[in-house]
């Protein structure tokens, strides 16, 4: 396949990880993000391109977008849809930025520059937000605009040692002749069509169900890397905790979690774990707890809002316990990025870019098995 065969527009682009996953078969006509801090990271990794527009999505006009894209990718903000967020839904200030994005897509359609494939990425909480009404409303807008949507819930842990389930809605224009090999017959199929997807589908109006597509994407068979391979022996910018700091961290663990640490110590072997601090209600009282996992999978990276949301590394080796923050390079590796990816000097800025991003290998898998075949299919219709 030749490079730059298909055209892409990337919205809520962050550090460009969706673009990284899509690879060299796609040329980016336009990219947008509101954050100048993220834009600096984007430009550092795509220095020869000038298509990035740093502006509120509601202020972007169709005339700013050149040409005609085959795919529009939008990883719109999840804070109002996440189970860990505020739960205000699709009409709140951050997740509600989907609507000006969609206004742009419909405006391009009105100019004769309609986009045949739209990919939306967000958290699984979109399926149940406002009792499923947000998901249904979003799909209704897609269908009324002439698209056929289908959804998959993909956990990045199938590709990298990080637990990161994300919802992917792939919608195509209704007149696109869909290749049979891309469709599940007769319906849902694991692993991507989870019970949550099936339940959300059952709640949809019949008009949406008629337009729905069950996408058939194979499960990966490659070996997922080890968490040990991600960890840097001596990372930059994140010093190891003192013995007192590590003891304080262990004191925040419940008996269940401290037992995991003691078992790792007793084994005398090397164990690499990750820790999040969380607020739990115990006997009616809120208490801060540190929760550790030694299953060779990191917890889901999140944007840093206060110290409790920063993921920690816990190393147990020959009975000794050490702890520190997860480094930004380690976070980038957990997102599937090569070490050649350029990161900012600021810890918070780098961690923020990674916590808000989409895992690169997941996008690459979708590109190979669904988006690229669909892009080829668009070449057979009159656009």
Mind giving me the DSSP string for 197-251? HHHHHHTS-HHHHHH---B--PPP-SPPPPHHHH--SS-SS-PPPPHHHHHHHHH
Strand order in the sheet with 271-282: 285-293, 271-282, 312-317, 320-325
Domain limits, CATH 3.40.50.150, in the chain = 6-224+357-378
Among 18-27, 116-125, 171-180, 299-308, which stretch is predicted with the lowest mean pLDDT? 299-308
Joined together, the tokens standing for residue 160 give: 């990298």
Q: Is the pLDDT of residue 370 over 60?
A: yes
Q: What is the pLDDT of residue 81?
A: 55
CA distance 322 to 337: 26
Q: What is the pLDDT of residue 1?
A: 39
CA distance 348 to 238: 11
Kindly compute the dihedral angle of the four CA atoms of residues 246, 268, 227, 309, in this order, to the nearest 10 degrees: -20
What pairs with residue 322 in β-bridges? 315
CA distance 347 to 351: 6
Q: What DSSP state is assigned to residue 335? A: T
Long-range contacts of 280-284 (CB under 8 A, 24+ apart): 280/254
Region 346-353: mean pLDDT is 92
What pairs with residue 151 in β-bridges? 169
CA distance 129 to 237: 38
Q: Please report, for residues 33, 165, 195, 367, the alpha-carbon distance to residue 199 in angstroms, rounded to integers and kept in the order given.
A: 33, 17, 6, 26
CATH fold, domain 6-224+357-378, is Rossmann fold (3.40.50)
pLDDT, the chain, mean: 91
* Half-sphere exposure for 45 (CA within 13 Å, toward CB): 21
pLDDT in tens, 198-215: 999 999 999 999 999 999
Region 11-34: mean pLDDT is 96
CA distance 182 to 190: 14
Q: Is the pLDDT of residue 322 over 90?
A: yes
Q: Is the pLDDT of residue 306 over 50?
A: no
Region 258-285: mean pLDDT is 92
Q: What DSSP state is assigned to residue 305? A: S
CA distance 314 to 125: 29
Q: What is the pLDDT of residue 199?
A: 96
Q: Is the pLDDT of residue 87 over 70?
A: no
Q: Is 62 exposed, middle or buried (0-12, 13-18, 19+ CB in 10 A)?
A: middle
pLDDT in tens, 213-250: 999 999 998 778 899 999 998 898 899 999 999 999 99
Among 47-56, 60-69, 367-376, which stretch is predicted with the lowest mean pLDDT? 47-56
Instruction: Label residue 25 by pLDDT band (50, 70, 90).
Output: very high
What pairs with residue 32 in β-bridges? 11, 53
Instruction: Label residue 305 by pLDDT band (50, 70, 90).
Output: low
Placement of tokens 């037992």 in the chain: 259
Is residue 81 within 8 Å of 126, Cβ to Cβ? Answer: yes
Joined together, the tokens standing for residue 137 give: 């409303």
CA distance 77 to 357: 10
CA distance 114 to 69: 8
Q: What is the pLDDT of residue 308?
A: 45
Q: Please report, for residues 88, 123, 275, 344, the alpha-carbon distance to residue 350 in angstroms, rounded to integers and kept in the order given.
A: 27, 21, 19, 6
Q: Which of 75, 152, 166 is nearest to 118 (CA)?
A: 75
CA distance 237 to 312: 14
pLDDT in tens, 124-171: 999 998 888 889 999 999 999 999 999 999 999 999 999 999 999 999
């Amino acid at each position: 396949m030749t490079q730059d065969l298909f055209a892409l527009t990337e919205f809520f682009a962050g550090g460009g990880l969706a673009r990284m996953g899509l690879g060299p078969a796609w040329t980016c006509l336009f990219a947008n993000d509101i954050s100048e801090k993220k834009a600096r990271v984007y430009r550092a990794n795509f220095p020869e391109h000038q298509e990035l527009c740093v502006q509120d999505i509601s202020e972007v006009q169709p005339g700013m977008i050149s040409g005609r894209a085959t795919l529009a990718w939008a990883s719109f903000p999840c804070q109002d849809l996440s189970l860990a967020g505020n739960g205000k839904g699709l009409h709140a200030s951050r997740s509600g930025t989907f609507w000006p994005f969609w206004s742009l897509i419909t405006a391009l359609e009105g100019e004769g520059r309609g986009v045949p494939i739209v990919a939306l990425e967000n958290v699984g909480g979109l399926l149940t937000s406002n009792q499923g009404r947000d998901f249904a409303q979003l799909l209704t807008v897609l269908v009324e605009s002439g698209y056929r949507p289908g959804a998959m819930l993909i956990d990045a842990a199938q590709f990298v040692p990080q637990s990161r389930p994300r919802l992917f809605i792939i919608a195509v224009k209704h007149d696109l002749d869909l290749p049979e090999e891309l469709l599940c017959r007769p319906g849902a199929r694991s692993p991507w069509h989870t019970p949550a997807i099936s339940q959300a589908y059952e709640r949809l109006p019949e008009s949406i169900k008629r337009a729905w597509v069950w996408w058939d994407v194979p499960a990966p068979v490659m070996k997922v890397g080890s968490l040990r391979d991600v960890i840097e022996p001596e990372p930059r910018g994140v010093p190891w905790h003192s013995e007192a700091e590590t003891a304080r961290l262990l004191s925040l663990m419940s008996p269940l979690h401290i037992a995991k640490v003691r078992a790792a110590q007793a084994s005398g072997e090397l164990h690499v774990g990750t820790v999040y601090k969380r607020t739990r209600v115990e006997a009616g009282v809120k208490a801060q707890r540190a929760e550790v996992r030694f299953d060779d999978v990191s917890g889901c990276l999140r944007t840093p809002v206060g110290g409790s949301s920063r993921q920690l590394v816990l190393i147990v080796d020959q009975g000794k316990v050490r702890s520190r923050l997860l480094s930004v390079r380690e976070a980038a590796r957990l997102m599937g990025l090569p070490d050649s990816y350029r990161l900012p000097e600021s810890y918070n800025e780098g961690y923020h870019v990674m916590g808000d991003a989409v895992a690169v290998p997941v996008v690459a898998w979708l590109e190979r098995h669904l988006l690229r075949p669909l892009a080829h299919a668009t070449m057979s219709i009159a656009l």
